[in-house]
Structure 1
Amino acid sequence: MKNFLLGTVALIALGATVPALAADMAARPYTKAAPAAYAPIYNWTGFYIGGHVGGAFGGSNGFLGTNNNDGDGRFLGGLQGGADYQFAPNWVLGIEGQYSWLGSNNNSVAFTGAGAGYAYTHNQRGLGSVTGRLGYTWGPALLYVKGGYAYSDYNESLTFGGVPQPFSTNSSHHDGYTVGAGLEYMFAQNWSGKVEYQYYDFGKTNFVTPAVLTQFGSTRNDEHTVKAGINYRFNLGGAPVAARY
């Protein structure tokens, strides 16, 4: 009986001690879960508008036996707008319209020999194009090729001894084609910059009248251009993100 009473007293004492010890223990600190890391996903789908500057360099294959400065470089500046669609998932398909104003070239051709006294002037004032483009993107960079319809905005004249003369050529050379390639980089939300090369070809010009100028063959109407531009992009819905833990 004595042992039973001693055991009971010990259990009661232990029961009173455990809660006190638990109360004296420090509370477990709260640890906030580590935030998820976010990696940006660049979305090229949407419409855009922008501007560009650069230089244009004409071909050097002019009329036979003439003094021709087609190859001289000229400043250009203009506007562009278009739309892109990203798919599969790193390919980008798009369409773009572009117009570039050209600095004056004073491209006057002085004929020699039988054509001495005649001077032909072809003043190209602008270049336009409507092109499709296909690109491959990795992150913020887009490498692309483009091609399509081109338009040449120009006027032309023929003089003899400084006096305007009637003339005709094989056809109008306002319409042609263009091809090119470039690199575009999305440097901020909704903003991208690009550099590109573009070649324009409007065919060859041959004189039909006056007959004396037909012997001088033809001149090719083409331009090589280098441009740097910037675009503002719509409908991207901000820069979408994906969690990466």
Structure 2
Amino acid sequence: MKRATPILATALALGAAPAFAGNTTPPLEDNTVAAPAPVAPVPTNVGPDWTGFYGGAQLGYADIDTNVAGSDDGVIGGVTAGYDYDFGTFVLGGGLDYDFADIGVANNAATVENVFRAKARGGYKLGNGLLYATGGYAQADTDTLGSDDGYFVGAGYEHMITQNFSMGGELLYHEFDDYNSTAVDVEATTLQLRGTFRF
């Protein structure tokens, strides 16, 4: 009887089956790594970047009502300037308006000559547009009743036509209680179209 080879003898001594015993095909290790599940893209609202300074002009219609004599209306328009910051989906900013007018109020007892506003605005980006709410301080000046401070609130929409030019519309409600201590309460609503250049 032949003696077992040293390798076979060692394997038998350790209780291991010879490599060629039974199934001669060595077991395969399962090294397969499961592919990660596809992740749905997170929707983003990119659109234009609204960050920066702007300046432009606006023109529209004003309806002015008092507690002493009906309402009067007329043309109002002027200049606007401000700064916006784009947070990706939302835009916050502030600005200044100065409008000229020639609208008689209180049975022409006075004429509104100009309106100044210091405003804050915040809005949501819709593609190339911005839908926003606004409000702040207003000052109206007349020819015979002097000037007085009040406030305004409103909303608007602005659309980026090119990278540096936008157009939009804005509806504002103003209130001046006891105008310049005359016991006259003034309410004014303005609707204006505006065009702005952005820097």
Taking structure 1 as the reference length, the TM-score comes to 0.58
Matched with 1:201 is 175
In 1, distance between residues paired with 2:157 and 2:103? 28
Matched with 1:190 is 164
**8 Å Cα contact 1:173/1:203 also seen in 2:** no
1:57-206 paired onto structure 2 within 5 Å:
57-62=63-68, 68-69=69-70, 71-87=71-87, 89-105=88-104, 107-109=105-107, 121-156=109-144, 174-205=148-179
- In structure 2, relative to structure 1, the CA distance for the partners of 1:150 and 1:45 (3 Å cut) is same
Whichever residue aligns with residue 94 of structure 1, its letter is G
In 2, distance between residues paired with 1:205 and 1:146? 23
Deviation of residue 201 (structure 1)? 1.1
**8 Å Cα contact 1:173/1:202 also seen in 2:** no
Query: After superposition, what is the alpha-carbon deviation per residue over 1:45-84, rounded to whole angstroms, capped at 9, x for unaligned?
Result: 000000000011012532xxxxx35x12110110000000
- In structure 2, relative to structure 1, the CA distance for the partners of 1:193 and 1:207 (3 Å cut) is closer
Deviation of residue 138 (structure 1)? 2.1
Taking structure 2 as the reference length, the TM-score comes to 0.71
3-state DSSP of counterpart to 1:174? strand
Q: In proportion to residue count, which structure has more helix? A: 1
In 1, distance between residues paired with 2:132 and 2:181? 38
3-state DSSP of counterpart to 1:44? coil
**8 Å Cα contact 2:167/2:196 also seen in 1:** yes
In 2, distance between residues paired with 1:177 and 1:108? 20
| Structure 2 residues without counterparts, runs of 5 or longer | 1-45
**8 Å Cα contact 1:59/1:221 also seen in 2:** yes
In 2, distance between residues paired with 1:135 and 1:225? 20
Whichever residue aligns with residue 195 of structure 2, its letter is I
3-state DSSP of counterpart to 1:56? strand
The number of aligned residues is 154
**8 Å Cα contact 1:179/1:198 also seen in 2:** yes
Q: Percent identity?
A: 33
Deviation of residue 149 (structure 1)? 0.7
- Superposition RMSD in Å: 2.1
- In structure 2, relative to structure 1, the CA distance for the partners of 1:190 and 1:123 (3 Å cut) is same
In 2, distance between residues paired with 1:206 and 1:125? 15
- 1:54 lines up with 2:60 in the alignment: yes
- 1:44 lines up with 2:75 in the alignment: no
